[in-house]
Amino acid sequence: MEEQKEIINKMIGKQSILFSNPPNILAGSSVAGKKEGEGPLGSFFDQIEEDPMFGGDNWEDAESRLMKRAAELAIEKAGLRSEDIRYLIGGDLLGQLIATSFGIVDLNIPIFGIFGACSTMGESMALGAIIVDGGYADRVLSLTSSHFAGAEKQFRFPLAYGNQRPLSASWTVTGSGAVVIGKDKPVSKDNDKENGVITIKGVTVGKIVDYGLKDSMNMGACMAPAAYDTISRNLKDLNVLPNYYDKIITGDLGYVGKDILIDLLKQDGFDISSNHMDCGIQIFDKETQDTHSGGSGCACSAITLTGYVFKKLMRHEWTRILFVPTGALLSQVSFNEGNSVPGIAHGVILEVC
């Protein structure tokens, strides 16, 4: 009977999955750069590194070191060693995922390399939860990273050019977030006030959504339709209203994208204006940090999740949230060739118990 229920329950609606034995978050880590440490969420991060090079030789090396540190910290916080992790699922923004490849090679863990632009944390947690729930691993590590200087060099201009940024542009977060997902109950706690166990209740896998926008300096507008598509699909698949969630948390839509998202969802009769939060808006101070439309990058949603959101859940201030990191699927080449900037967003349902 129990097994019958399991088989029926896994596929929900068109794109969603609900896990019959929701995997647990065994630990999460958040390593942030200096500017992120000076922002409103600074006190929530595990580590803040003053050196933008993280002791490395170049921006790519810096990001690899950053990711390695987040990976090791998450494993340590879970009370584990790297050999206890069966598979790693991760990626980053750099071409051919070089931050990830060189960052995690020493951990000696079999890896699924993934790319979902800034939605990577959602994709990695979705796959991680599938692998654990399905019994293919006891424990996996889902992680991602981004670095402001590496991303500017990859997608726009090297910092030394000193190019100007329009008000719709966002600021790539320097940081890395890692999550250990497992069957067992977590063994360690940050402190006594944080005693909840976070589980991954389900996921909604996103489609690529292209409204034809071409402005890579307004990625919030490019990604908002994808966030809309995934959130609307999640609510329809689960047959719930937005207030089913204490918070619906998008990745890096920023101020411009947030307004578009809320308008688009109203067309479907969903009003998320009272319980929507965007990590890109949350992570920097608009008045003092000069980040224009807000933060972005894989790490924006990743460290906001592992640093801030996990604590809100573990303290039972929120009990159920929908985490929807958002990605803009462009490259230097696609932009130079005049292509549009399609978006993607993956939804992860987190509950505390």
- Out of 5, 34, 55, 58, name the contact with a second copy by CB under 8 A: 58
- What is the pattern of x (binds a second copy, CB under 8 A) and - over residues 293-332? ------------------------------------xxxx
**309 vs 303: CA distance, rounded Å:** 9
User: CB of residue 41 vs a second copy: minimum separation in angstroms?
Assistant: 27
From 92-100, 160-168, 243-251, 254-262, give the range in contact with a second copy by CB under 8 A.
92-100
**85 vs 81: CA distance, rounded Å:** 7
- Out of 57, 160, 191, 192, name the contact with a second copy by CB under 8 A: 57
Q: Are 283 and 300 in contact (CB under 8 A)?
A: yes
Cβ-proximal residues to 82 (8 Å cutoff; 6+ apart), any chain: 72, 75, 107, 108, 109
User: CB of residue 105 vs a second copy: minimum separation in angstroms?
Assistant: 5
- What is the pattern of x (binds a second copy, CB under 8 A) and - over residues 149-188? -----x----------------------------------
Which is nearer to a second copy, 35 or 139 (by Cβ)? 139
Cβ-proximal residues to 52 (8 Å cutoff; 6+ apart), any chain: 33, 34, 62, 148, 149, 174
Q: Are 149 and 159 in contact (CB under 8 A)?
A: yes
Is residue 101 close enough to count as binding a second copy by CB under 8 A?
Answer: yes
Which is nearer to a second copy, 69 or 139 (by Cβ)? 139
CA 163 to chain centre: 28
Is residue 21 close enough to count as binding a second copy by CB under 8 A?
Answer: no
Q: Are 186 and 137 in contact (CB under 8 A)?
A: no
Q: Are 34 and 52 in contact (CB under 8 A)?
A: yes
**CA pseudo-torsion sign 4, 201, 85, 296:** positive
Where does this chain bind a second copy (CB under 8 A)?
3, 6-7, 10-11, 14-15, 17, 57-58, 60-61, 86-87, 91, 93-98, 101-102, 104-105, 108-117, 123, 126-127, 130-131, 133-138, 154, 205-208, 210, 329-334, 337, 339, 342, 344
